[in-house]
Amino acid sequence: VKTCEVALPLPWIHPLREVVKHANDLLLVRYQKKLSSSVSAQSCFLSTYGGTSHVSLDDVFTEVQLELHHSSSGVHQPLDLEDVVGSVGTVNKDADTVLVSGEAGSGKSTLLQRLHLLWAQRAALRDFVLLFPFSCRGLNLEHRELCVQELLFQHCCWPDREQEEIFQFILDHPHLILFTFDGLDELKEGFVDELRVCCPTQRAPVHVLLFNLIQGTQLKGVMKVVTSRPGAVGPGLKKHLRKEVLLKGFSPSGIDCFVRKHHSDSAVAAKVLESLQANTALLGLCHSPVLCWIVSQCHKELLSCGEGSPQTVTDVYLMILQHFFQHHSTSKGTTGAGWLQEHLRTVLHLGQLASEGITSSCCVFSGADLETCGITEKDVCMGFLVQSKDVSPGNSKRYEFLHVTMQCFFAALYIVLSGDTDCSTVPKLFELQDVTETGLSSTCLRACLPSADQQGGHLEEHTTAAEAPNLQITATFVSGLLSQRHKRSWQRCCSKAAVERKVRQVTRCLSKGMQKHFRSIPRPVPGEKKSMHAMPGFVWLIKCIYEMQESRIAKDAMSKLEVDHLKLTYCNIGPMECTALAYVLQHIKSPVGLQLDNNSVGDVGVEQLLPCVHVCNSLYLRNNNITDEGIRRLTAKVVHCDNFQKIALFNNRLTDASTLHISHLLKAKQSFLSLRLGNNNITAEGAKRLAEGLRRNHSLKFLGLWGNKIGDAGAEAIAGALENSKSLVWLSLVGNGVGNAGARALSGIVRNSLSLEELWLTQNCITRAGVEYLIQALKHNTHMKSVWLKNNDLSSEEVEEVKLIEPRLIF
Ligand code: ADP
């Protein structure tokens, strides 16, 4: 390889020299250079900083949490950036499209930007000779029909010479090419896979080309990475996916790292982090990179606000609003809401542009659009609008809000502050959420925003998959802006009566929305518990109630909720949603089982849930990235909660350290029924500590330790502690490296226990001799139903033999 490196004038593509031979080497190298310098120029700065300063992506990029979608079953490992295009988690080998999905502000565009830059710097993705980045926002501006070659060269990088040869290279070597499409949810047309365009020279609308590329009817073999918000990808597209990667924002250490990178002054960084630790609701919000960025950007405001430190997403956006305005304020030191009065005109004009954009699925605006809304150069200078990177075909300047959530925030400000909006705007915005869940458009809202009628047709009448989430985000901000603590500020800027009317409308909509969800709860099957499986809209309503900070609505809503079990699995619940959930659920009348499996609760989320754990009789937190620290905080609280009886913590990041806290819980709570700790990192040491608690507990019925590493020593400790248990019904030590010594110890429970019905020892290393202990013990036990022993160290003859001796041994 070394000699090739020296000999070839193609430093980048030398590993692929057998491929390159067929193309015109120099030509390709030249094009590659041009493409990579264009990609580098586009990706080296972060656009959110455009209004204030140029920040290099290399300086602030912070690792984000990437997970595989659960369709990649069985793979539970943290992913790094290159795994996005790597083979890990592949569910469909025939497909070439990887979807990266995440909520607005979770860092999708930045992640792609990072991949682009690393490729251009030759620091990653070196297997790809050419990388073509697209933004769906930009593609929306392309109204011509194009063929694939034109799409690549006109939208990404124009080859100075020999286009045909370069395109032929792409056709011949698709596996050396990478395309990225950012923001598929913003594409004006929804995905369909019926329109086939197979020929690379055939022209078609760009969205049709895009769909054909994703499906692989065009340029099969080219790897595509597509980003989108989660709700926007339907089953039609899912079947063309190689895999789906979920973007979960920053981890707690990511927040720390980001804040330190953002502030060159380490003392400031330390103060910001300290204030986040003191306000865990805000810390929860900072898992979202866009919020973390705002909080860091507004560190002065943050550090000076003391007790009144932001709690809600609306508080955080108001902080940046104030930050930008005060930067440009004529009267420095304007206190209270004075800054808003001073800049009200700007707010309303930007708000009008934002809300028109939201109702017509438009995020990129022309100079004429700005003019129509009365936006001046001075307004633009405030920094909320930045120049779009997506150049329109006419090359005229285009603008977009710093981030789509900022656009939603301005739309919400407009709805709250403008006297022009129709009386039905607020109810329509909230009612629409029910409609949008079934996929209908927002035409009715459009009709209620009179300014939208005067657009002169420049904003198109399309709806995109991003529209429903944008309306939801806007409605959440409307709730926040109308909260008790903010509404007084608006009364100086608009009619008090109008604000009060909007407050009543939101209150009514939220109550009605909650009741609608409750009415949809199916009647329980006789003998079974009444269970509610929350729909995404339910979590959104809860977040709106939290933003409004109206415990009255929460109390009222919860007084009508009659369920035994509340299921919120796979609902994208992170720390910030936990804060909102606890705010509302703490008012539930009778104890419930709260099932939060397969979310991203984490330790910060656990802490946020504490205010509502007293209403939980069981808490299911499987697969939630919780560590020993989360368990320490949780057990310290639940030990005092009379109702609390069951916990499931399967597949988290627990080690022996957490068994100390759990053991304490077992000792203290003599009503505790079920403890499931499967698939963590508990060893014999942890099992020994757990045994201390088990020995002193007289209520536990179910104990699951599947997939840990307790070994014989751990099994002996557990068996010793439970030998005389009168409560234990079910015990699982599956996959724990338990051998004959463990089996021998466990036979003690089998012999003595009057309560145990099932013992699970599948996937261990017990031999025939170990099974003998169990056979002998079972002779003394008539009520025990089964001992599961599949996948141990027995030959098939031995299995047949012992099954005949003891039919309760199950293989
Ligand atoms: P999305 O595309 O999911 O809406 P973005 O990528 O636009 O989110 O992120 C919003 C903002 O959050 C970015 O402009 C940047 O300021 C910040 N951000 C996102 N991801 C990162 C990251 N990995 N490192 C540093 N900052 C980030």
**In this predicted structure, what is the pLDDT of residue 72?**
77
**In this predicted structure, what is the pLDDT of residue 640?**
95
Backbone angles phi, psi at 64, to 5 degrees: -110, 165
Measured at the CA of 59, the angle between CA 50 and CA 305, to 5 degrees, comes to 65
The DSSP string of 116-154 is: HHHHHTTSS-TT-SEEEEEEHHHHHT--SEE-HHHHHHH
Give the three-class secondary structure for 92.
Answer: coil
The number of the ligand 1 atom at minimal distance from the alpha carbon of 261 is 25
Ligand 1 midpoint to CA 393 (Å)? 27
Task: Name every residue whose Cβ is closer than 8 Å to that of residue 627 and which is 6 or more positions away in sequence.
Answer: 603, 652, 653, 654, 655, 658
Alpha-carbon radius of gyration of the chain = 30
The DSSP string of 159-218 is: -SS-HHHHHHHHHH-GGGEEEEEE-GGGSSSPP-S------TT--EEHHHHHHHHHHTSS
Q: What is the pLDDT of residues 220-263, one digit of tens each?
A: 999 999 999 988 888 888 999 999 999 999 999 999 999 999 99
Q: Are 286 and 253 in contact (CB under 8 A)?
A: no
- Answer whether residue 713 shows pLDDT above 70: yes
Task: Return mean pLDDT, the chain.
Answer: 88
Ligand 1 midpoint to CA 47 (Å)? 9
- Answer whether residue 387 shows pLDDT above 90: no
Secondary structure element (H or E) that encloses residue 54, with its range: none
**In this predicted structure, what is the pLDDT of residue 447?**
54
The number of the ligand 1 atom at minimal distance from the alpha carbon of 290 is 12
- Answer whether residue 318 shows pLDDT above 80: yes
Q: What is the pLDDT of residues 797-810, one digit of tens each?
A: 999 999 999 999 99
Q: How far apart are alpha carbons 614 and 552 in whole angstroms?
A: 19
Ligand 1 midpoint to CA 291 (Å)? 9
The number of the ligand 1 atom at minimal distance from the alpha carbon of 47 is 14
**CA distance to 41, 217, 510, 515, 567, per residue, from 571 (Å):** 37, 33, 19, 20, 9
Ligand 1 binding pocket mutation candidate from 290, 400, 406 (most atoms within 8 A of CB): 290
The protein residue with its alpha carbon nearest to ligand 1, atom 26, reads: 61
Q: Are 176 and 130 in contact (CB under 8 A)?
A: yes
Measured at the CA of 420, the angle between CA 415 and CA 422, to 5 degrees, comes to 75
Pocket of ligand 1 (CB under 6 A): 46, 48, 60-62, 64, 102, 104-110, 258, 289-290, 293, 403
The number of the ligand 1 atom at minimal distance from the alpha carbon of 63 is 23
Ligand 1 midpoint to CA 101 (Å)? 13
Q: What is the pLDDT of residues 447-479, one digit of tens each?
A: 555 444 444 333 334 456 667 889 999 999 999
Q: How far apart are alpha carbons 125 and 805 in whole angstroms?
A: 60
Assessment of whether the complete model's pTM goes beyond 0.75: yes
The number of the ligand 1 atom at minimal distance from the alpha carbon of 404 is 4
Ligand 1 midpoint to CA 785 (Å)? 55
Q: How far apart are alpha carbons 199 and 220 in whole angstroms?
A: 12
Q: What is the pLDDT of residues 94-134, one digit of tens each?
A: 999 999 999 999 999 999 999 999 999 999 999 999 999 99
Ligand 1 midpoint to CA 246 (Å)? 15
Strand order in the sheet with 130-135: 66-68, 241-247, 97-101, 223-228, 177-182, 130-135
Strand order in the sheet with 786-788: 531-533, 565-567, 592-595, 616-620, 646-648, 674-676, 702-704, 730-732, 758-760, 786-788, 809-810
Q: Are 616 and 566 in contact (CB under 8 A)?
A: no
Q: What is the average pLDDT across 76-82?
A: 84
**In this predicted structure, what is the pLDDT of residue 396?**
79
Ligand 1 midpoint to CA 473 (Å)? 17
Banded pLDDT at 58 (limits 50, 70, 90): very high
Amino acid code (one letter) for 117:
L
Amino acid code (one letter) for 47:
S
The protein residue with its alpha carbon nearest to ligand 1, atom 11, reads: 290
The DSSP string of 473-539 is: HHHHHHHHHTSHHHHHHHTTTS-HHHHHHHHHHHHHHHHHHHHHHHHTSPPPPTTS--EEE--HHHH
Residue percentage of the chain with pLDDT more than 90: 70
Ligand 1 midpoint to CA 61 (Å)? 9
The number of the ligand 1 atom at minimal distance from the alpha carbon of 102 is 3
- Answer whether residue 482 shows pLDDT above 90: yes
SS3 content of the chain, % helix, strand, coil (to 5): 50, 10, 40
> DSSP state, 68?
E
The number of the ligand 1 atom at minimal distance from the alpha carbon of 112 is 6
Ligand 1 midpoint to CA 525 (Å)? 46
Q: How far apart are alpha carbons 463 and 359 in whole angstroms?
A: 8
- Answer whether residue 336 shows pLDDT above 70: no
**In this predicted structure, what is the pLDDT of residue 10?**
44
Ligand 1 binding pocket mutation candidate from 101, 229, 292, 293 (most atoms within 8 A of CB): 293
Q: What is the pLDDT of residues 620-645, one digit of tens each?
A: 999 999 999 999 999 999 999 999 99
Amino acid code (one letter) for 262:
H
Structure tokens at 287: 């898992």
Q: How far apart are alpha carbons 213 and 227 in whole angstroms?
A: 15
- Answer whether residue 424 shows pLDDT above 60: yes
Ligand 1 binding pocket mutation candidate from 110, 118, 227, 316 (most atoms within 8 A of CB): 110
**In this predicted structure, what is the pLDDT of residue 464?**
62
Q: How far apart are alpha carbons 284 and 297 in whole angstroms?
A: 17
- Answer whether residue 731 shows pLDDT above 90: yes
Q: How far apart are alpha carbons 452 and 445 in whole angstroms?
A: 10
Ligand 1 midpoint to CA 469 (Å)? 18
Ligand 1 midpoint to CA 105 (Å)? 6
Amino acid code (one letter) for 419:
G
- Residue where the block lists tokens 């002169």: 456
Ligand 1 midpoint to CA 415 (Å)? 27
Which of 532, 541, 523 minimizes the C-alpha distance to 561? 532
The number of the ligand 1 atom at minimal distance from the alpha carbon of 258 is 25
Q: Which residues make beta-bridge pairs with 787?
A: 759, 809
Residue percentage of the chain with pLDDT more than 70: 89
Banded pLDDT at 194 (limits 50, 70, 90): confident
Q: Which residues make beta-bridge pairs with 68?
A: 245
Least confident of 495-499, 600-604, 800-804: 495-499
- Helix residue ranges, H only, 600-722: 602-609, 628-638, 656-668, 684-695, 711-722
The number of the ligand 1 atom at minimal distance from the alpha carbon of 48 is 14
The protein residue with its alpha carbon nearest to ligand 1, atom 23, reads: 62
Give the three-class secondary structure for 681.
Answer: strand
**In this predicted structure, what is the pLDDT of residue 50?**
53
Sign of torsion over alpha carbons 724, 729, 732, 738: positive
